Amino acid sequence: MTILVTGGAGFIGSNFVLDWLRLHDEPVVNLDKLTYAGNRENLASLEGDARHHFVHGDIGDRALVERLLAEHRPRAVLHFAAESHVDRSIHGPEDFIQTNVVGTFRLLEAVRAYWTALPAAEQAAFRFLHVSTDEVFGSLGPHDPPFAETHRYEPNSPYSASKAASDHLVHAWHHTYGLPVITTNCSNNYGPYHFPEKLIPLMIVNALAGKPLPVYGDGQQVRDWLYVGDHCAAIRRVLQAGRVGETYNIGGHNERTNLDVVRTICRLLDALAPAPARGVCDVRSGAPVQRYEQLITFVTDRPGHDRRYAMDARKIERELDWRPAETFDSGLRKTVQWYLDHPDWVQRVQSGAYRAWVQRQYGQEALA
Ligand code: NAD
Ligand code: TYD
């Protein structure tokens, strides 16, 4: 048996593939376009491993996807591939529509054709697992209950609107054609191989370089944080025992304000990699940094910034007995340590294109 993973060179996808092949012998076909967010180096430990078959290509390339399905005959497709960064979706929504909406549509069509032609037993066992986000539900007030699976879809950003559209397509392909789909909606992930455009890795790499830690607006926006390994475990469990046609919320019960998250990272770095011992200087003033919190800088807020996300994950806990293994403290400590242990990875992902993005998003001051 084989599974087909899309987007398996990105942050969550590569963690999923690495964990999967650590735990199973079942081969993985990994289809990834290698956009700026895809990085084959994440999968370097699988070099020469016959169980991992990497394919450089687009989920929207129907002929390619059809060929891969016919050749490898997977028992499941796990769909991670997406454009995933809200700020990039604000600057340029087109790629989000192309990959998240059109790409998912084409993938669904190729999978439907393949699935329709399968023998009955294989058809019954087949799964299309669609990896989605809590952001499709919109924004909560401070005292609202967390999002349940039944919460109305109210996406606010081009990113979340494109993910919501893809969720609807997946649902419709089940309802209309009987494709055996399951959708998961997860809260904010963090952990190894996280591209440093997102909050947690950006703060770690900027702090170590003495660069400003750009907090949008008042920093009081709330996110629910889940360690990426826990998300991957939840997806494995849903694949194994989730009910077809259902959606499952996945969350960490870790609501934190952004400012709180940034301060916690600074304190962890103070303990694990003290700035004075590393000779870190503030790139703006040249002054030695004593404590990383000195680098926190409030910057212009994100347009349409969602105030709060929170997940009610009781369904997956009750039905599938999944629970996160990491607390926010244990997961964040592991994550900070991973970045400290992988300076070469960090240096290599900060390419010219990365620097151009930082300049565009934060301007000269935050780039320093
Ligand atoms: P990411 O941006 O790190 O990785 C996305 C991967 O998809 C990259 O390897 C990229 O090269 C690939 N890709 C993009 N367009 C493609 C295309 N057209 N064809 C093939 N491959 C393509 O994203 P991530 O953070 O790993 O997120 C993975 C999935 O999980 C996404 O669907 C995202 O919406 C969802 N999700 C993410 C989070 C989070 O906190 N990061 C939370 C919940 C859900
Ligand atoms: P992000 O990691 O981009 O995830 P998402 O927008 O999908 O939740 O951002 C997490 C939170 O951190 C979000 O409220 C925006 C905020 N943020 C900052 O304050 N500064 C930054 O430089 C970034 C990238 C995000």
The per-residue pLDDT for 66 is: 98
Nearest CA to ligand 1 atom 27: 12
- Among candidate residues 361, 258, 306, the one with its CA nearest the CA of residue 156: 306
What is the CB < 6 Å shell around ligand 2? Answer: 86, 188, 198-199, 202, 214-216, 221, 223, 258, 302
User: pLDDT (tens digit, 9 = 90+) per residue, 176-234?
Assistant: 999 999 999 999 999 999 999 999 999 999 999 999 999 999 999 999 999 999 999 99
Distance CA 331, CA 325 (A): 9
Give the chain as a 3 state SS string. CCEEEECCCCHHHHHHHHHHHHHCCCCEEEEECCCCCCCHHHHHHHCCCCCEEEEECCCCCHHHHHHHHHHHCCCEEEECCCCCCHHHHHHCCHHHHHHHHHHHHHHHHHHHHHHHCCCHHHHHHCEEEEEEEHHHHCCCCCCCCCECCCCCCCCCCHHHHHHHHHHHHHHHHHHHHCCCEEEEEECEEECCCCCCCCHHHHHHHHHHCCCCEEEECCCCCEEEEEEHHHHHHHHHHHHHHCCCCCEEEECCCCEEEHHHHHHHHHHHHHHHCCHHHHCCECCCCCCECCCHHHHEEEECCCCCCCCECCECCHHHHHHHCCCCCCCHHHHHHHHHHHHHHCHHHHHHHCCHHHHHHHHHHHHHHHHC
Position 367 confidence tier, pLDDT thresholds 50, 70, 90: low
Burial code of 58-92, b = ≥16 C-beta within 10 A, e = fewer? bbbbeebbeebbeebebbbbbbbbbbbbbbbbbee
pLDDT in tens, 80-123: 999 999 999 999 999 999 999 999 999 999 999 999 999 999 99
Interval 317-359: pLDDT, tens: 999 999 999 999 999 999 999 999 999 999 999 988 999 999 9
The predicted model scores a pTM of 0.98
**135 noted as active-site residue:** yes
Euclidean distance between CA atoms 177 and 171, whole angstroms:
10
Please determine, for residue 366, whether its predicted confidence score (pLDDT) is greater than 90: no
Any idea which residue has 């994100």 for tokens?
302
Q: What is the pLDDT of residue 365?
A: 59
**In this structure, are residues 130 and 182 in contact, taking their beta carbons and an 8 Å threshold?**
yes
Domains and CATH numbers, the chain: 3-191+227-253+309-327 (3.40.50.720)
The pLDDT > 70 percentage for the chain reads 99
Identify the pLDDT of residue 352: 87
Using the predicted structure, report yes or no on whether residue 364 has a pLDDT greater than 90: no
Nearest CA owner, ligand 1 atom 35: 132
Q: Which residue from 159, 160, 163, 198 has its CB within 8 A of the most atoms of ligand 2, so it is best to mutate?
A: 198
Mean pLDDT of 12-36: 98
Q: Is 99 in the pocket of ligand 1 (CB under 6 A)?
A: yes
Other Cβ atoms closer than 10 A to 262: 24
> Based on C-alpha coordinates, what's the Rg of the chain?
20
- Which one is catalytic: 83, 135, 197, 230? 135
Q: How much distance in Å is there from the Cα of 331 to the middle of ligand 1?
A: 21
Which residue has tokens 């054609």? 177
**Average pLDDT, integer, range 4-30:** 98
Please report where in the chains the tokens 């209309």 appear, as a residue. Answer: 176
Round to whole Å and give the CA distance between 35 and 287.
Answer: 37
Beta bridge partners of 77: 4, 128
In 3D space, the residue among 136, 192, 165, 172 whose CA is nearest the CA of residue 331 turns out to be 192
CA of 244 from ligand 1 middle (Å) equals 23
Instruction: Report pLDDT for 274.
Output: 98
Q: Which of 32, 58, 114, 159 is catalytic?
A: 159
The ligand that comes nearest to the alpha carbon of residue 134 is: 1
Summarised one tens digit per residue, pLDDT across range 121-144 is: 999 999 999 999 999 999 999 999
Note the ligand closest to the C-alpha atom of 298. Answer: 2
Of 58, 134, 255, 326, the catalytic one is 134
Name the closest-CA residue to atom 23, ligand 2.
199
pLDDT of residue 368: 47
- The answer to whether 118 touches 126, Cβ cutoff 8 Å, is yes
Residues 299/214, Cβ–Cβ less than 8 Å: yes
Instruction: Please give the Cα distance from 105 to 300 (Å, whole number).
Output: 36
Q: How far apart are CA 350 and CA 333, in angstroms?
A: 22
State which ligand 2 atom lies nearest to the alpha carbon of 306: 14
Bridge partner list, 132: 185
**Whether the CB of 308 sits within 6 Å of ligand 1:** no
pLDDT of residue 172: 98
- 309 as an active site residue: the answer is no
Residue 159 is a catalytic residue? yes
Q: What is the mean pLDDT of the chain?
A: 97
Q: How confident is the model at residue 45 (pLDDT cuts 50, 70, 90)?
A: very high
What is the per-residue pLDDT across 243-258, written as a single tens digit (0 to 9) for each?
999 999 999 899 999 9
